[in-house]
Amino acid sequence: MYIDVEYPAERAEFYKVLNGELRLYSGGEEDMTAALANFSSVLAIAFPRANWTGFYLIKGGELVLGPFQGRPAVTRIAYGAGVCGTAWREDRAQVVEDVECFSGHIACDCNTHSEIVIPLRDENGAMWGVLDMDSVEPGHFGDADREGLEECVKILERFGKNDK
């Protein structure tokens, strides 16, 4: 059973607690879908101002929708398209303070104002998908979140080489 946890406001402490929660609900699961599903749920609880938390996975040369929390979303994203495809092409995280100002942003929910996309990497650093989070607040995600989330997704590193 899920037990509610209090998330501290201070960013370093927040990410310590979040990392523990993600390990608790995803860390021990060997099935990728199950682990990613719980991961997205923990993030949705930890970020009450996020209206979408979830995954796109690289499959057959495009990004395909994975487990998520939020409204239905675009199911496939081409290499270089939108914020997610840009993260893939540039091989780095994207922090978008105002999605209106990101040329090519793919709108899935008109309430979204800001977005963060974090690469999922295998143990050799090769990207196999992205974590995508949207928020109704402009500028909701910053560098501390990029660093914190980059650390958190290392929990999923083991799925990079699995047959998806």
**Residues contributing to the site for ligand SME (CB under 6 A):** 52, 73-74, 77, 82-84, 105-106, 108, 115, 132, 134
Q: Which is nearer to ligand SME, 26 or 69 (CB)?
A: 69
Q: Minimal distance in Å, beta carbon 6 to ligand SME?
A: 28
Q: Minimal distance in Å, beta carbon 83 to ligand SME?
A: 4
Q: Which is nearer to ligand SME, 27 or 142 (CB)?
A: 142
118 Rama sector, left if φ>0, alpha if ψ -120 to 50, beta otherwise: beta
Helix or strand holding residue 18 (H, E):
helix 11-22
35-43 own/partner pairs: CB under 8 Å, 24+ apart: 35/156, 35/159, 36/66, 36/67, 36/156, 36/159, 37/67, 39/67, 39/155, 39/156, 40/67, 40/68, 40/69, 41/69, 42/18, 43/18, 43/69, 43/131, 43/133
Q: Minimal distance in Å, beta carbon 86 to ligand SME?
A: 7
Q: Which is nearer to ligand SME, 12 or 70 (CB)?
A: 70
Amino acid at residue number 96: V
Q: Minimal distance in Å, beta carbon 150 to ligand SME?
A: 18
Q: Which is nearer to ligand SME, 33 or 75 (CB)?
A: 75
Residue nearest to ligand SME (CB): 82
